[in-house]
Structure 1
Amino acid sequence: MIIPKSSLIVSCQAPIDSPLFDPKIIAAMAKASINQGAKGIRINTPDHVKQVRKELPHIPIIGLWKQDYSGYDIYITPCYTDAVAIAEAGADIIAIDGTLRKRPQGEQLADLIHNIQQKLGKLVMADVDTIESAIASAQAGADFVGTTLYGYTKETENFNPPGFSLLEEMSQKLTVPIIAEGGISTPEDAKRALNYGAYSVVVGTAITGIDLKVKAFQAMFK
């Protein structure tokens, strides 16, 4: 398996209007994470993936492209054309929206997964929100299923990540590796996720989210 079991994956991303939204700065975050023991990196946009791959040629990269399509709610690598760009930039694993929501260009989840695997030769991580979408993604052939979208869809908007209850249910019903992602804010959260059956754990904002962290602290001064 390209990502070691019970390992830390760091999501190195930044808001598009942040000074940190620069390929070299994202790559620096990634290198600092790997230097301290992370075993993989999750990266958004082809430009960022390309820069990280250049500076970390042998590190597993989960790549994605957040794209807005008018009339559709999904935004994590929604279409095959988006996946192609991420694959060509150098990602090893393509993260896609694995929810049951309607997709642009009439694509179906199973077809998207199949094309990424067979045409691009890449593994697929399906980001899901519910046990139904997790099962559907696994049945469609996803190599990994992540709890990434728990709390971020209409179906789960009344719940707050991390989705430990979803993770536990997924570990009982799925045979594919499960990646815990979303709301993992402390080392204790990460350990708990592993105890609930996560294959590996992605941590983002708690490590690299300077903009969001400062904004949260600053709110306390108002």
Structure 2
Amino acid sequence: MAWTRALPLDRPDVATRLAPAIKARFAGSGPLVDQMLAETNPALRRGISAMLLARYPGMVGNVSPFIRYETDPAKFAHPVMRASNDLERSRENWWSVFAGGTPTYGKRVAAPAMPAFLAAGAAATLRAERATLAALPSGTDYLAGLVMEHATREPGDARLPQALSMLIRAYGGDARGQYTAPMFKHCTRISRATNGPNARRPTADGRAGAAIPMNGRGIVAAASAHDALPIHNVTD
């Protein structure tokens, strides 16, 4: 939780301190974690951090007594971004909306009372951090905004397709989000332009196979098939 919150709270010191534990917990995350820590440009570091979180929906932002990882933390609970799922023992992905925030779906949850044992300085810090987190949209929408921002800055970044693919797969969790909806529309257009409306997946022998659907699954296939998506302007 502290690792995930380090990005929106702008706490690179926390990310640095927790990096060894994250690399041990999330198999395959090591190279991207090291690239994030080595990046000195704050904007690029933010983009790498967002791509890292996008790859691992198991990096949740809230503590819940119901979180149990019955599946790989790089996979989603279904339906995505919902609080619980019986088949996966109440898995959660990233975050829905933090307490005190306004969700796209469902009811607003009030922030808990301030702990009485905190000193004045610590209480002030907690209030400020809660306000920052409460202003965030869902994890899907927040990460979509940062990843697409990075895509406009570094359109040839070979790390983009996997992050975008994961966010497209999570699209149903916040389909009306400020950043998620434009991302989905943009990637749909890229997929159509790249594959055509009647595109088909190649079979093992190189022949045209089944048609690629022009929905989230089809866009994931298209994104995964290229070294980088030709993203120019996310507002198009």
TM-score range with shorter-chain normalisation?
under 0.3
Q: Please tell me whether Structure 1 or Structure 2 has the larger radius of gyration of its CA atoms.
A: 2
* TM-score after normalising by structure 2: 0.25
* TM-score after normalising by structure 1: 0.27
Structure holding more strand per residue: 1
